[in-house]
């Protein structure tokens, strides 16, 4: 019997994502001037107010207020009528030094034996239904949000758009787990009050979503198989409440780490519960989740399975993982069992925290780019980033973004499994 699966995404202007982006911008600023910094920063945003809290261990001083304001401005909260704008919001700093009890569990004389910054289990997932090995419903939801943000920033069409928005995509699957069609697309976007008639505003936004937004989304899809899933029977639900003028941190308080399913796999696979943004890579919540995605993606790309979930678990202060688990959902193409695949992974990948940091180059200031539109399924690339400070020299650094998306283990995996 056919079934339906749904994933959602949110824009960079969503309150929770504003919080994530401020936290990761602060992390990047610390790493740009101190690549050994230990950072765990949480941000809360609400009407006219930003609260930054957490723990940091670093020798450098960072102007948190300037970083927060620049981030908010870049996102697009630049008008006083939003009740939250970069120039006038208050910024409260409640950061203190990292706990010595955590420090003693992480630091080691032999850096290679660095302990995990916390206990927990982290998951990585990949499937072959999209070119970037991500679930189709989430990939499309992210694409809708990125495209809507591009239209807003261009300022030529849909000029009533405000920064806060959400999307949701429901895909119908057949009995074999193959995508059959797209059933429902939900788009909720904050907007100016551009007409005294609420019904007229809603009608205009619906028309623009169908005739401006969605054609631009489809232009970015290169797979004929995915394009064929769009038909005339798709249900479009646009601003279902009828009006969305009050939004952003004024409409709903935002908090770092509250969009962990948007950040990962849209509900496919599994999630260990740990958030990413604001945490340096000594926190395995972040680094091991990236490593698990790296493993799962390379395994699926090598043909080991059509779909794979990888779990890695740790105890605080210990270097070696407590366990490694693999689930191929009965879609494996090798003779080994899932348990035996896990044993191959254990031998092939060094999953000690320091090794993950080294191999994926996670001590770079690369995290602001992860804080909206998902941490997984993104494009690996090298870019130049410039960091300015009132207290330090301006630095321009070449960094590698989304290293966990590289497919550089495929040949080794094929050899190991004789594919």
* Of 169, 74, 107, 99, nearest in space to 369 by CA: 74
199 assigned binding-site residue:
no
Instruction: Answer whether CATH 3.30.300.10 is correct for domain 3-9+136-246.
Output: yes
Q: What is the pLDDT along the chain (419 residues), one digit of tens a residue?
A: 789 999 999 999 999 999 999 999 999 999 999 999 999 999 999 999 999 999 999 989 999 999 999 999 999 999 999 999 999 999 999 998 866 655 555 665 556 667 676 788 999 999 999 999 999 999 999 999 999 999 999 999 999 999 999 999 999 999 988 999 999 999 999 999 999 999 999 999 999 999 999 999 999 999 999 999 999 999 999 999 999 999 999 999 999 999 999 999 999 999 999 999 999 999 999 999 999 999 999 999 999 999 999 999 999 888 899 999 999 999 999 999 999 999 999 999 999 999 999 999 999 999 999 999 999 999 999 999 999 988 889 999 999 999 999 999 999 999 999 99
14 assigned binding-site residue:
yes
118 assigned binding-site residue:
no
Contacts (Cβ under 8 Å, ≥6 apart) of 99: 55
259 assigned binding-site residue:
yes
CATH code of the domain made up of 120-127+281-417: 3.30.300.10
- Fold identical between 3-9+136-246 and 120-127+281-417? yes
pLDDT at 108: 56
Query: Which string of b and e fits 99-121 if b means at least 16 CB within 10 Å?
Result: eeebeebbbeeeeeebbbbbbbb
307 assigned binding-site residue:
no
Q: How many beta carbons lie within 10 A of that of residue 187, not counting itself?
A: 25
Q: What share of the chain is helix, strand, coil (3-state, %, to 5)?
A: 35, 25, 40
| Strand partners for 189 | 165
283 assigned binding-site residue:
yes
Domain regions of the chain by residue span? 3-9+136-246, 120-127+281-417
pTM score of the predicted model:
0.95
153 assigned binding-site residue:
no
Task: Report the number of secondary-structure helices (H) and strands (E) in the chain.
Answer: 13, 13
Q: How many beta carbons lie within 10 A of that of residue 135, not counting itself?
A: 27
244 assigned binding-site residue:
yes
pLDDT at 316: 86
164 assigned binding-site residue:
yes
194 assigned binding-site residue:
no
98 assigned binding-site residue:
yes
pLDDT at 265: 98
141 assigned binding-site residue:
no
pLDDT at 103: 55
């Amino acid at each position: 019997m056919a079934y339906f699966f749904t994933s959602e995404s949110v824009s960079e202007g969503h309150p929770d994502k504003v919080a994530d982006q401020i936290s990761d911008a602060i992390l990047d600023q610390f790493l740009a001037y101190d690549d050994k910094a230990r950072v765990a920063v949480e941000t809360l945003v609400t009407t006219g107010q930003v609260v930054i809290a957490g723990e940091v261990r670093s020798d450098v001083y960072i102007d948190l207020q300037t970083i927060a304001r620049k981030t908010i401005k870049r996102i697009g909260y630049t008008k006083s009528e939003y009740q939250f704008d970069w120039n006038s919001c208050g910024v409260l700093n409640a950061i203190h030094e990292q706990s010595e009890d955590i420090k003693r569990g992480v630091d080691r004389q032999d850096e290679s034996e660095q302990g995990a910054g916390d206990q927990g289990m982290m998951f990585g997932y990949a499937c072959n239904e999209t070119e970037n090995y991500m679930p189709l419903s989430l990939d499309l939801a992210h694409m809708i949000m990125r495209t809507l943000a591009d239209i807003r920033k261009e300022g030529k069409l849909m000029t009533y758009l405000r920064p806060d928005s959400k999307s949701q995509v429901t895909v119908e699957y057949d009995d074999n787990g193959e995508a059959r069609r797209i059933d429902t697309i939900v788009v909720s976007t904050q907007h100016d009050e551009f007409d005294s008639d609420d019904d007229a505003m809603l009608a205009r936004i619906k028309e623009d979503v169908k005739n401006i937004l969605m054609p631009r989304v489809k232009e970015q899809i290169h797979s004929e198989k995915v394009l064929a899933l769009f038909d005339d029977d798709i249900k479009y639900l646009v601003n279902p409440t009828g009006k969305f003028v009050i939004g952003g941190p004024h409409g709903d308080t935002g908090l770092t780490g509250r969009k962990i399913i948007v950040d990962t796999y849209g509900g496919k696979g599994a999630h260990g519960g740990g958030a990413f943004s604001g945490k340096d890579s000594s926190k395995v919540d972040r680094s091991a989740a990236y490593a698990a995605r790296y493993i799962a993606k390379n395994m699926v790309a090598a043909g080991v399975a059509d779909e794979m979930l990888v779990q890695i678990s740790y105890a605080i202060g210990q270097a070696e993982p407590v366990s490694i688990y693999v689930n191929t959902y009965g879609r494996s193409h090798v003779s080994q069992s899932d348990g035996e695949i896990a044993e191959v992974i254990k031998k092939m990948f060094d999953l000690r925290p320091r090794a993950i940091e080294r191999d994926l180059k996670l001590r770079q200031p690369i995290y602001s780019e992860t804080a909206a539109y998902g941490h997984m399924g993104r494009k690996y690339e090298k870019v130049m980033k410039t960091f300015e400070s009132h207290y330090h020299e301006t630095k321009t650094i070449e960094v590698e973004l989304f290293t966990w998306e590289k497919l550089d283990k495929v040949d080794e995996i094929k050899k190991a499994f004789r594919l």
